[in-house]
Amino acid sequence: MNLSKFRSLIIPIFSLLISCWVFSRPISAIALFVYSNTAAYFNNTVRSLKRTKEEAETLLHTEEHATKLESQNRKLLINKTILEAQVKKTDQLEEALKLKSDFKYRTITSGVIGRSPDAWHDQFIINKGSNDGIQVGRGVINEDGVVGQIKKTGPSSSIVQLISNPDWRMGVKVARLNQYCILNGNYPERARLQFITIDSDIQAGDEIVSSGVCTDNDICPYPENFPVGRVVMVGKDPNEIDLLVEVEYYADLNKTKYVFVLE
């Protein structure tokens, strides 16, 4: 037998020996082998599923915790905003009371509680009324200047006609010239002066103050020389005998929270 034939017989003989060894083993051993490997596979699968479930539960708990924290943060932010507003309101009231103590006039401190968008530049409501001594026609001021005049009163609230109301008329004077005239609440941000003759020396920057002149019912709304505003424009209208004069109010009516009603 040559070497090539011997080599060709090796593989079949080796395969036969392995087959005989396998089939000579007890069936129980084979079954145990199959069971062990199958059980190990299923155990690994169960453990993997269990880990997946635990991870999912952990993720769900984390999301719920994050949602809860987010809700708590929103509540804290709302509370912080409310506290800041209360502090600001308290500071404004303290400032108003301090200013009242500095005034040489007798006044009633009031808060602005209502304002209609349709009449924003015409009027607002304050939280003091006839029960507090408020009377129709009394002047209303703040720390910067004239704000308006009491138009109507109720027991616990009053309507203030603002200086920016187009129907507003008020006796004023040019402080530098001691020249009397009428202020007309013509615009939301600016008023106009009437009866300033064309030969007047009025100039931009001139201060406009209250005249102190009483009305027909003997109520003097404002003390003399109380600040009203300043001249921002002086022009000439060829069709008019008076100058066109615009005045910017000292009082910022859009930010007014507290006012003083003159007694």
CATH topology of domain 107-262: Thrombin, subunit H (2.40.10)
Calculate the average pLDDT of the chain: 78
Residue 33 C-alpha from the chain's centroid:
75
| Side chain identity, residue 3 | L
92-140: per-residue pLDDT in tens?
A: 555 655 555 555 678 888 899 988 888 888 999 999 999 999 999 999 9
Confidence at 20, pLDDT banded by 50, 70, 90: low
Q: Which of 138, 130, 123 minimizes the C-alpha distance to 222?
A: 138
Tell me the β-bridge partners of 245.
193, 234
Distances in Å between the Cα of 166 and the Cα atoms of 123, 163, 174, 188, 213 are 11, 8, 21, 8, 21
pLDDT at residue 200, as a whole number: 92
Confidence at 64, pLDDT banded by 50, 70, 90: confident
Strands 207-210 and 190-194: unpaired
pLDDT at residue 19, as a whole number: 60
CA–CA separation, 229 and 185 (whole Å): 12
CA–CA separation, 6 and 159 (whole Å): 123
pLDDT at residue 196, as a whole number: 92
pLDDT at residue 96, as a whole number: 55
Query: Average of pLDDT values for 254-259?
Result: 88
Confidence at 151, pLDDT banded by 50, 70, 90: very high
193-212: per-residue pLDDT in tens?
A: 989 988 899 999 999 999 88
For 198, phi then psi, to 5°, come to -65, -20
Domain ranges of the chain: 29-102, 107-262
Write down the pTM of the prediction.
0.61
List CB contacts of 198: < 8 A, sequence separation 6 or more: 236, 241, 242, 243
pLDDT at residue 181, as a whole number: 92
Buried b (16+ CB within 10 A) or exposed e, 232-257: eebeeeeeeeebebbbebbbebeebe
pLDDT at residue 50, as a whole number: 74
204 or 236, greater pLDDT:
204
Residue 76 C-alpha from the chain's centroid:
16
Confidence at 78, pLDDT banded by 50, 70, 90: low
